[in-house]
Amino acid sequence: MKYFVPRRVLPWRRSFSHSSSRRVIKSLSELPARINPKYTETRQNDLLCLQWPSPPRNVLLTKKNNTPEITESLIEYAQHIHSTYPSMNLMLEPHAAEEVHSKLDFPVYTTSTPTLHDAPTPTILSDKTDLVSTLGGDGTVLHASSLFAHTPCVPPILSFGMGTLGFLGEWKFKEYKRAFREVYMSGAHDAYASIDQKDQSEITDSEDANTTPTYASIRGKSMGAARPARILLRNRLRISVFSPSGDRLNSSDPAAGDTYALNEVIVHRGSSPHLKIIDVFVGGRFLTEAVADGMIISSPTGSTAYSLSSGGSIVHPLVSSLLLTPICPRSLSFRPLVLPANTPITLRLSEKNRGREVEVSVDGVRISKGVGVGMEVRVLGEDIRDRRSGEWCGGVPSIVRGVVGMEEKEEDHWVGGLNALLKFNYPFGEEA
């Protein structure tokens, strides 16, 4: 039996009893190398088209924790992927792998550390993941993105809102079949490519995980026309945090380098009841001394998150910019700023703070140690286009939901989100 090869069983899976040889957890290292898609411009020039050179093989599924309904949905989704796209390998985070593998009759892949998040930078993830798919809210998308927080090149993310739609989770779960198919086929040259799930089922087992299927090989399967998936390439922030003594604090691994954030980095008084004094430098020059609860440096994507709550403007994700938004500033005249994405911004905890610590958080996750007076947060926007080649890379490639049969109105995702989710300019009044 191919799946139950003892050496493949991860050492930390001690307590695991596998009644069926298929319900196993395997190591990511066994997976074939990642396939990098291309992104091509559309005539409208704001969304990009996803183009796989060959069909994706490794999909990482992440989900919100502690929510049984979502775990159920994950299982349903995984089974659909396995049965319809038998050449796909399913990757899960360790916690989820343990939780669901026994309910799946095919192997799942995971890392050998208990949680990816605590792990030393999981470069293996970025070496293997072709595609990410999330089930949860915005927090789950932020978490998925954080798994690639030290990687310049994030795989495309297909996100499903569960229960409540979020700003980042574009799709409704009930659309998962159409959505996955659209992504899987995206960019296949043969518009008549199709998959026949029945015919293929017997050859699945004999397929090696390392085989590269081609769109040609799946020709004839009843997939219908392949419309390319639309990608919104969300700029990230490139963040480094330094302790007063110059140690890098933004990662537990000192060699990890800068951290990429999807929403924002925040410096905040946290549990200290007192105002904080933060020196703000823009483009290397002193801009101002902020006396406030804290400061936010946000991406346009993050403009609808914490920055919005603090009075920031809403910035479209395609405006290449950084937002500087104060949190409860002790000033009548500290208006939020929108700066060019390539402007370096530094926040420095002023000596005037008399040694009190602050809270620094990236996308809602706190960096908790060594953050004292003299500490610096340095931020730069991310270049998502190679200057020389003109190729699109970087950012978080978010697969945007199109409306079937409304091709011409397909760009509604952001405007739709403003209206439906944020209740933007929600009308006054009530019927008598």
Choose the one of a second copy, ligand NAI, none that binds residue 332, judging by a C-beta under 5 to 8 angstroms depending on kind.
a second copy
Phi, psi torsion values for 403, nearest 5 degrees: -100, 125
388 makes contact with a second copy (CB under 8 A): no
- Distance set, CA 281 to CA 29, 285, 347, 377, 382 (Å): 43, 5, 6, 10, 18
Q: Which of residues 219-258 bind a second copy (CB under 8 A)?
A: none
Question: Looking at 35, 49, 256, 275, which residue binds ligand NAI (CB under 6 A)?
Answer: 275
Min dist. Cβ of residue 28 to ligand NAI (A):
25
8 Å CB contact between 250 and 367 = yes
Inter-helix orientation angle 68-84/197-204, to 10°? 90
State the nearest-atom distance from the C-beta of 275 to ligand NAI, in Å. 4
- How is residue 226 written in tokens? 């392949």
| Residues 168-207 contacting a second copy, CB under 8 A | 172-173
Say if CB 332 and CB 301 are below 8 A apart: no
Judged by CB under 6 A, does residue 364 bind ligand NAI? yes
User: Helix 176-185 vs helix 68-84: angle between axes, to the nearest 10 degrees?
Assistant: 40
> Does residue 319 touch a second copy according to CB under 8 A?
yes
Task: Out of 204, 339, 374, 392, name the contact with a second copy by CB under 8 A.
Answer: 339
DSSP string, 363-414: TTEEE-SS--TT-EEEEEEPP-B-TTT--B-SSEEEEEPPPTT-GGGTTHHH
Provide the minimum distance between the beta carbon of 324 and a second copy in the complex, in angstroms, as a whole number: 9
Cα angle 381-386-392, degrees, rounded to a multiple of 5: 90
Report if residue 306 touches ligand NAI, rule: CB under 6 A. Answer: yes
CB of 330 to ligand NAI, least distance (A): 4
Query: Strand 157-161 and strand 131-136: pairing?
Result: parallel
For the CB of residue 58, give the shortest distance to ligand NAI in the complex, in Å.
26
Using rule CB under 8 A, residue 162 touches a second copy: yes
Q: Is 309 in the site for a second copy (CB under 8 A)?
A: yes
Cα gap 135→116, rounded to integer Å:
17
Q: Is 302 one of the binding residues for a second copy (CB under 8 A)?
A: no
| Binding positions for ligand NAI, rule: CB under 6 A | 137-139, 142, 166-168, 263-264, 273-275, 292-293, 301-302, 304-306, 309, 328, 330, 363-364
